[in-house]
Amino acid sequence: MKFFVDTAEIDAIRDLAATGLLDGVTTNPSLIAKSGRDFMEVTREICGLVDGPVSAEIVALDYPTMMKEAEVLRKIADNVCIKVPLTVDGLKTCKALSGEGTMVNVTLCFSANQALLAAKAGATFISPFVGRHDDNGFDGMDLIEDIRLIYDNYDFATEILVASVRHTTHVLQAAKIGADVMTAPPKVIHDLFKHVLTDKGIEGFLADWAKTGQSIL
Ligand code: E4P
């Protein structure tokens, strides 16, 4: 499963990129606003930090303007992935852009039928929002299971990008279901490394090592 980080904070992206485990970045208008940075400038900087796809979201809602915005964004770098909302015009834009070889991430997906439409529109990624689904009394992971089943039934190439990830259990469930990608805030990715028994084990080994009086270097 590929790991994308869901942020527009440069330091957090640089930090995770240094682990060698980061496959891409997702942003959205709220994350850009939170960063306080200029959209074009920060997106360009992010594209230079990772080799993989960097999702940049268009904000227009009508097809002609969506295409114009996509035209501006896709010139930023080769690894820009245009993020479009799951609407009729969004999927029209998806179809046109993917036909031209541009990566497209269809966002704000909350049903398996929506995911089916996105795949038919040639989306590179479909982003079902599991956390927001859970928040509204549904089971976000049931949605991922349904989409996996449908995509496998028809051999769709669209990758399932599990979004709105809130905790490490979402990551585990996504991996068990066989999602292609997950995008999570930096804290959740850092939490994946942690286990209390790992810390306790290191502590015990170092205490015993100190008793030997030896050093490796
Ligand atoms: C995905 O691409 C979105 O940016 C993101 O995962 C939304 O997550 P949220 O529900 O925590 O805002």
pLDDT of the residue at 92: 98
Nearest to 81, CA basis, from 116, 108, 109, 43 = 43
Burial grade of 103 (CB within 10 A; 0-12, 13-18, 19 or more): buried
d(CA 78, CA 103) in angstroms, rounded, equals 10
Instruction: Spell out the residues 6+ positions from residue 128 whose beta carbon is closer than 8 angstroms to its own.
Output: 109, 110, 115, 140, 143, 144, 147, 160, 161, 162, 163
- Mean pLDDT score, 60-85: 98
Three-state DSSP at 5 gives strand
DSSP string of 141-166, one letter each residue? HHHHHHHHHHHHHHT---EEEEBS--
Residues 165-190 have pLDDT tens digits of 999 999 999 999 999 999 999 999 99
d(CA 82, CA 121) in angstroms, rounded, equals 14
Which of the residues 75, 83, 95, 194 is marked catalytic? Answer: 83
Percentage of the chain beyond pLDDT 90 is 100
Å from CA of 135 to ligand 1 middle: 13
pLDDT of the residue at 141: 98
83 is catalytic: yes
Q: Is 163 in the pocket of ligand 1 (CB under 6 A)?
A: yes
Residues 97-146 have pLDDT tens digits of 999 999 999 999 999 999 999 999 999 999 999 999 999 999 999 999 99
How much is the mean pLDDT over the chain? 98
Q: Is 102 in the pocket of ligand 1 (CB under 6 A)?
A: no
Distance of CA 208 to the CA centre of its chain: 42
Helices 112-120 and 88-99, packing angle to 10 deg: 30
Å from CA of 196 to ligand 1 middle: 28
User: What's this model's pTM, rounded to 2 decimal places?
Assistant: 0.97
CA-closest residue to ligand 1 atom 8: 164
d(CA 22, CA 51) in angstroms, rounded, equals 9
d(CA 182, CA 165) in angstroms, rounded, equals 8
Å from CA of 6 to ligand 1 middle: 7
